[in-house]
Amino acid sequence: MELTPETVAAEREWVRGRAEVVVPLINRVRTDLEELFDADVETVSEDRYREEVDLVFADGDVAVNVAALVGLLRELDVQGDYPGFVVDEVLGRELAGTIGGDQPLRLLGEATFHYADLIHPADTDLLTGAEGDEAADPTGDDDHGAAGLDDLDAALAAGFQTRLPGWGWTDRPSPFDVPRDGD
């Protein structure tokens, strides 16, 4: 794998193009967590997801790492699949955390990845996009059957749902903020 500004830009377009798959998973995760934590959580639109993808990729230091992890998961396949289970999980968790941001959001993204990975649809057409669906894969690569693709979708959903607004506790100052001297 060689990462260049052009390949990072291509991965950004691929991630933006996954909105049809990732956004419903984001909203499913949010609905489930809303019930578990008795909270009101806003849903996410495809446009808002794409805006946030652009923000993630606007930070080159983050973008190159996200692009590398996306590229690895898109291409990852292991004969018999099970031996690759651990590497799928490691890469997916790392991608979700990287997208999630700084602590504590990074940890929440990582933790949410495992939940999203369990609940995402098993329908391979939904995971890979219907045959001929350019929105699912604007690069034209054939990702059907790649072992890492389901973990990739779960990681994108977990990371973006974590960093996007809509959670009450992230929309207000922390009660633990300590004022600076002189404030």
C-alpha R_g of the chain: 17
Residue 100 is assigned to a structural domain of this protein: yes
> CA-to-CA distance for 13 and 30, rounded, in angstroms?
24
Residue 27 is assigned to a structural domain of this protein: yes
Task: Name 94's Cβ contacts closer than 8 Å, sequence gap at least 6.
Answer: 69, 110
Degrees, nearest 5: CA angle 32-35-37: 105
- Which domain, by its residues, includes 42? 5-170
Total domains in the chain come to 1
- Residue 168 has a pLDDT of 77
Alpha carbon 24 to chain centroid, angstroms: 12
Residue 179 is assigned to a structural domain of this protein: no
> CA-to-CA distance for 109 and 26, rounded, in angstroms?
12
Residue 177 is assigned to a structural domain of this protein: no
- Residue 8 has a pLDDT of 98
Residue 183 is assigned to a structural domain of this protein: no
Residue 32 is assigned to a structural domain of this protein: yes
Alpha carbon 10 to chain centroid, angstroms: 16
- Please give the single-letter amino acid code of residue 8: V
Q: Which two tokens stand for residue 32?
A: 């489930």
Report residue 128's pLDDT band, with 50, 70 and 90 as the boundaries.
very low
**What's the Cα-to-Cα distance from 121 to each of 24, 60, 63, 83, rounded to whole Å?**
10, 32, 27, 22
3-state class of 167 per DSSP? strand
| pLDDT, mean over the chain | 85
pLDDT digits (tens, 9 = 90+) for 18-77: 999 999 999 999 999 999 998 899 999 999 999 999 999 999 999 999 999 999 999 887
Q: Which two tokens stand for residue 15?
A: 């991630």
The predicted model scores a pTM of 0.84
Q: What is the dihedral of CA 21, 143, 51, 118, to 10 degrees?
A: 40
Residue 181 is assigned to a structural domain of this protein: no
- Residue 109 has a pLDDT of 96
Residue 88 is assigned to a structural domain of this protein: yes
> CA-to-CA distance for 147 and 53, rounded, in angstroms?
23
